[in-house]
């Protein structure tokens, strides 16, 4: 029998490795930005075209590479950060496995330009699908420029799986935020299709957070500082009143590397316990510094998940640090049973000594001496006789009860209100209640075949969705003007999403007076949308865009109708009277697709009489 196991060619192995490292344009952005940081750059520029599908270019002013290093950088497992296996447990850099450039070059057209400060000329290398097309000497400034063009050009199946430009740009922006937040001392800029999206100068951490998420963020931040032998925590958490329904403003950085940790996220939620409304999430931007020997970074291909040696200790320290900061800045209520604020020394008297009060007493003073004589004299005057005469006159003309004749109650008449009939006579019989609300979540009704159970939230979503979609397609939505304009603050990336959806939002009934970089001014809302719900509608809409909902198969109108229906629908736990229950029941079965919600979930079920009888067998 012939041998069937064989070694893969290098270009095939590189494509397989690329499947782990490069999933979308955002993956390329992450790897190239991290390489630029490791090169010691102080200014990094990111240039995109079509959300990175056509071009991802990163230009830095780092130390650059020699001719040999430039060529070796595209080989698999070629890295400058690792010399021995022990170095894997003392990592202080970003990329270390040496697969990034090799994987990217296997599935794209790559052009590299690099020059060291001591060299007069630089090196240019052009690679297409792991094949080196050219290597020349070129005039270029100090640093490195890597241009990745036509991503997945040789893997059309992977390219077809990419989402729309809006979604892919959102993923790229998220990666840009993570790298920029981890390194506030480095200047970053980002361009998309020729327009500048971000220009971040070198600054401190607080300014970097404000520059990315908008000027309104500054008033939301609460500083967190704690240093222990195991862990150093620094950064900010958001005030509870500014919490969001999305998790877009949650960042953990461990040794300047962005990580995702559900366990540590639970520690933050525990610190905010009792301060957040249901369904809302806290914002946090926290830097954790630990000994590199106590963590394992290389457990996930994207290196966003790491393993800690002692998670329980980190959990306790992080929870206590955040809770202490919330209490220190009077965000959370603090109970102190040992001190009384009423007994605190006023500020003006804190340096003064106490004085013993002096009391003078007139020992000959008798306050009752004169009053006692006047009362005694007054009681002996004719006033007493007048009082007796007054009381005796009350009985004049009264007869004894024994001489009075008994009262005949049969002749007594009682005064009563006149009974008037209704102006409009009605022979209608009051109908019995036909619906019942179960646990403030389901509406139960009887039908000929048995019983009908409706999920009130999903049913109302279906009703609102079809009404909104009809308004959006016919462009006949009615707008209700606001007495005072409504200002809603957004981050720069969120404002970009609102700008893209602005025409459809206007068809839905919203009216904008101005859309700034970090603020949206609304002067009109659709009829039936409360002013207090507008910010929730926009948060949900942005969240849906971020979570890959608007794929190529979805229109913006459909997305908007689904998102608004989800935000405005009756929630579980809301009590409905009989009339409201009847209205939902009738409106649901007037819809085109009453059986499913806009997200294709069942809205109602039926229990036949036979099914009920089987339960009693």
Q: Over 372-429, what HEC string results?
A: HHHHHHHHCCCHHHHHHHHHHHHHCCCCCCCCCCCCCHHHCCCCCCCCCCCCCCCCCC
* Closest by Cα among 213, 164, 196, 248 to 542: 248
- Is 437-606 CATH 1.10.520.20? no
| DSSP state letter for 108 | S
* Closest by Cα among 147, 146, 139 to 119: 139
Q: What is the pTM of this model?
A: 0.69
Q: Return d(Cα 97, Cα 302) in angstroms, integer.
A: 11
E-strand ranges in 67-220 read 109-115, 122-128, 131-138, 143-149, 187-192, 195-200
- On whether the CB atoms of residues 283 and 249 are closer than 8 A, the answer is yes
- pLDDT at 190 exceeding the cut of 90: yes
Q: What is the pLDDT of residues 409-445, one digit of tens each?
A: 566 666 665 555 555 444 554 456 678 888 889 999 9
- pLDDT at 600 exceeding the cut of 60: yes
Domain residue ranges in the chain: 10-202, 214-328, 437-606
Sheet holding 519-526, edge to edge: 479-489, 519-526, 511-515
* pLDDT > 90 in the chain, percent: 32
| Per-residue pLDDT, 143 | 93
- pLDDT at 563 exceeding the cut of 90: no
Q: What confidence category does residue 336 fall into, taking pLDDT thresholds of 50, 70 and 90? A: low
Alpha helix positions (H), 156-300: 156-160, 165-182, 205-213, 262-271
**521 CA to centre of own chain:** 21
Q: Which two tokens stand for residue 526?
A: 């659709």
- pLDDT at 80 exceeding the cut of 70: no
List the single range of 203-212, 240-249, 401-410 with lowest mean pLDDT.
401-410
When comparing pLDDT for 154 and 345, which is higher? 154
Q: What is the pLDDT of residues 448-465, one digit of tens each?
A: 888 999 999 999 999 999
- pLDDT at 93 exceeding the cut of 80: no
CATH of domain 10-202: 3.30.565.10
Q: What is the pLDDT of residues 42-62, one digit of tens each?
A: 999 999 999 999 999 999 999
Give me the CATH topology for the region 214-328.
Ribosomal Protein S5; domain 2 (3.30.230)
Question: N- to C-terminal Cα distance for the chain?
Answer: 64
Rg of the Cα atoms in the chain:
38
- On whether the CB atoms of residues 33 and 176 are closer than 8 A, the answer is yes
């Amino acid at each position: 029998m012939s041998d069937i196991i064989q070694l893969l060619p290098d270009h095939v192995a590189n494509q397989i490795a690329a499947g782990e490292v490069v999933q979308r344009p955002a993956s390329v952005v992450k790897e190239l930005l991290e390489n630029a940081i490791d090169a010691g750059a102080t200014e990094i520029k990111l240039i995109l075209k079509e959300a990175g599908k056509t071009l991802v270019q990163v230009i830095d002013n780092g130390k650059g590479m020699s001719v040999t290093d430039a060529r070796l950088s595209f080989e698999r497992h070629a890295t400058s950060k690792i010399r021995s296996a022990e170095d894997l447990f003392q990592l202080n850099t970003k990329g270390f496995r040496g697969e990034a450039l090799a994987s990217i070059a296997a599935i794209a057209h790559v052009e590299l330009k690099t020059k060291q400060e001591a060299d007069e000329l630089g090196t240019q290398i052009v690679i297409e699908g792991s094949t080196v097309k050219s290597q020349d000497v070129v005039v270029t400034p100090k640093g490195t420029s890597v241009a990745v063009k036509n991503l997945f050009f040789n893997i059309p199946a992977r390219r077809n799986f990419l989402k729309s430009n809006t979604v892919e740009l959102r993923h790229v922006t998220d990666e840009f935020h993570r790298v920029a937040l981890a390194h506030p001392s480095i200047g970053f800029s980002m361009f998309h299709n020729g327009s500048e999206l971000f220009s971040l100068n070198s600054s401190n951490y607080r300014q970097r957070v404000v520059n990315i998420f908008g000027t309104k963020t500054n008033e939301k931040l609460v500083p967190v500082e704690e240093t222990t032998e195991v862990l150093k925590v620094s950064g900010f958490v958001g005030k509870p009143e500014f919490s969001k329904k999305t998790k877009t403003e949650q960042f953990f950085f461990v040794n300047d590397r962005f990580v995702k940790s559900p366990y540590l996220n639970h520690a933050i939620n525990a610190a905010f316990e009792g301060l957040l409304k249901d369904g809302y999430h806290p914002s946090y931007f926290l830097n954790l510094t630990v000994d590199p020997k106590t963590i394992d970074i290389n457990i996930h291909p994207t290196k966003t998940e790491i393993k800690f040696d002692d998670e329980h200790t980190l959990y306790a320290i992080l929870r206590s640090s955040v809770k202490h900061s919330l209490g220190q800045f009077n965000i959370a209520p603090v109970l102190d049973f040992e001190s009384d604020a009423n007994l605190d020394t006023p500020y003006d008297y804190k340096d003064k000594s106490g004085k013993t009060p002096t009391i003078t007493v007139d020992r000959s003073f008798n306050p009752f001496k004169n009053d006692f004589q006047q009362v005694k004299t007054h009681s002996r005057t004719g006033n007493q006789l007048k009082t007796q005469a007054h009381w005796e006159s009350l009985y004049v003309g009264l007869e004894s009860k024994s001489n009075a004749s008994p009262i005949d109650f049969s002749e007594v008449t009682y005064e009563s209100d006149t009974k008037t009939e209704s102006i409009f006579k009605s022979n209608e019989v009051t109908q019995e209640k036909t619906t019942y609300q179960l646990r403030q979540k389901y509406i139960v009704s009887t039908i000929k075949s048995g019983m009908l159970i409706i999920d009130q939230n999903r049913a109302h979503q279906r009703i609102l969705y079809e009404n909104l979609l009809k308004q959006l397609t016919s462009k006949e939505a009615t707008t209700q003007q606001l007495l005072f304009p409504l200002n809603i603050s957004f981050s720069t990336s969120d404002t970009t999403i609102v700008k893209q959806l602005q025409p459809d939002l206007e068809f839905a009934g919203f009216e904008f007076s101005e859309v700034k970089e970090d603020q949206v001014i609304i002067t009109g809302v659709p009829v039936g949308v409360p002013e207090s719900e507008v910010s929730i509608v926009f948060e949900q809409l942005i969240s849906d865009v971020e979570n890959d909902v608007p794929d190529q198969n979805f229109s913006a109108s459909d997305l908007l109708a689904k998102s608004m229906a989800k935000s405005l629908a009756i929630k579980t736990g809301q009590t409905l009277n009989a009339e409201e229950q009847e209205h939902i029941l009738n409106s649901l079965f007037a819809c085109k697709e009453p059986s499913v919600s806009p997200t294709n979930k069942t809205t109602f079920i039926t229990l036949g009489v036979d099914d009920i009888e089987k339960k009693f067998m």
